[in-house]
Amino acid sequence: MTFAHITGWGMSVPETILTNDDLSKMVETNDEWIRDRTGIRERHIVRGGQTTASLAVEASLKALQRANLHPADIDLIICSTSTPEHIFPATACLVQDRIGATKAGAFDLSAACTGFIFAVNMAAQSIRSGAIQNALVIGSETLSRFVDWHDRGTCILFGDGAGAFVLQASDMPGGILSAVMHSDGSGGDSLIIQGGGSKHPTTEATVQAGKHFIEMDGNEVFRFATRVMAQATRETLEIVGIQLDDIKWIIPHQANIRIIAAAARGLKLPMDRFIVNLDRYGNTSTASIPIATVEAAEDGRLQPGDRIVLVGFGAGLTWGALAAEWTGPLPSERKVYPRRYRLWARIRSILLRVVRFIEGAIWGRGS
């Protein structure tokens, strides 16, 4: 029997920090209100050339380094994001090219803040079926590029960042144990970017109407979130027959400390069983769960053998949870340095573009 283990992890956040005091100079708000109502103190924001793909590449290289896995050994890359570089090509393909994952199929997954759970589940299923050996799963967002910085109802919440896991096949029991995925499209309007898709293609009018910004009914999303977090956690544990007491850490989507507290009450667990870092990053959407997991793994709170639940909710509406036994890198004889392949990946990418240009010159363009 094949199991899917989390063997590598990495994260990347931009250096630029936006504090609540900074925000109070931009909209009518203040540090006390934001901390009190959300728990957020500051968030990281991309600047200049930083994008969803550049954050994803950084997080991925760290995850590959930790797993000691050569980029060319990856079979599948799933990038969960709601803020892709383009409608197409997929951000996952840009990552594939930049890290030199020459063998990997790559696609994006759109399930908003729940996306990372869905993506890990899809990758784990592919591994367990025997179809693939190694997967790279990324959650990456640059929500700051889609936020209306005049809307105090949303701009205080979101931040940018990326987290990545490497998943690998092994006959050793453990790894991803169970998952549940849920959706309710009837609530789609409560958290939405209206413009830029096929319903409202970008025009001067859509931009003037602000349809390219995040729109949210905060109270409705809040009510939904507090309902589903505990429920999804229980469901995924039921599937695998594990008791809550056997779970070392619950790693929730980092949207609002009051939502996490409601989940804790619903599960009758103390808050110190939850990994929380939203005070420093805000809501980084699909990146929030992997970033929180990476921090816990790096500072030693998360140890091999620990059982964890990842649980999230978001636009769609979507929600889900995943139970796992933390593994860590698989034993390996050779030492791999994924960063070194970045230069080769760059050269390879340029060569492929040159070949395509020459082909175009020989065969003619568009004829």
Determine whether 283 is an active site residue. yes
Cβ proximity to ligand COA, 141 vs 235, nearer residue:
141
- What whole-number distance in Å separates Cα of residue 41 and Cα of residue 154? 15
Cβ proximity to ligand COA, 153 vs 210, nearer residue:
153
Q: Which residues of the chain form contacts with ligand COA (CB under 6 A)?
A: 29, 33, 37-38, 113, 152-153, 156-157, 191, 216, 218-219, 221-222, 225, 255-256, 283, 314
Q: How far is the CB of 364 from ligand COA (least distance, A)?
A: 49
Tokens of 18: 């936006």
Residue whose Cβ sits closest to ligand COA: 218
- How far, in whole angstroms, is CA 98 from its chain's centroid? 19
Given the residues 70, 113, 134, 256, the one annotated as active site: 113
283 contacts: CB under 8 Å, gap ≥ 6 = 40, 113, 143, 157, 158, 159, 253, 254, 255, 256
Contact criterion met (CB below 8 Å) for 110 and 81: yes
Q: How far is the CB of 211 from ligand COA (least distance, A)?
A: 19
- What whole-number distance in Å separates Cα of residue 227 and Cα of residue 221? 10
Q: How far is the CB of 254 from ligand COA (least distance, A)?
A: 9
175 contacts: CB under 8 Å, gap ≥ 6 = 3, 4, 5, 6, 124, 167, 324, 325, 327
b/e per residue 258-282 (b: at least 16 CB within 10 A): ebbebbbebbebeeeebbbbbebbb
Q: How far is the CB of 209 from ligand COA (least distance, A)?
A: 22
- What whole-number distance in Å separates Cα of residue 128 and Cα of residue 131? 8
Cβ proximity to ligand COA, 16 vs 24, nearer residue:
24
Cβ proximity to ligand COA, 73 vs 217, nearer residue:
217
Cβ proximity to ligand COA, 30 vs 203, nearer residue:
30
Q: How far is the CB of 223 from ligand COA (least distance, A)?
A: 9
Cβ proximity to ligand COA, 38 vs 52, nearer residue:
38
Q: How far is the CB of 96 from ligand COA (least distance, A)?
A: 27
Determine whether 44 is an active site residue. no
Q: Which residues are catalytic?
A: 113, 253, 283
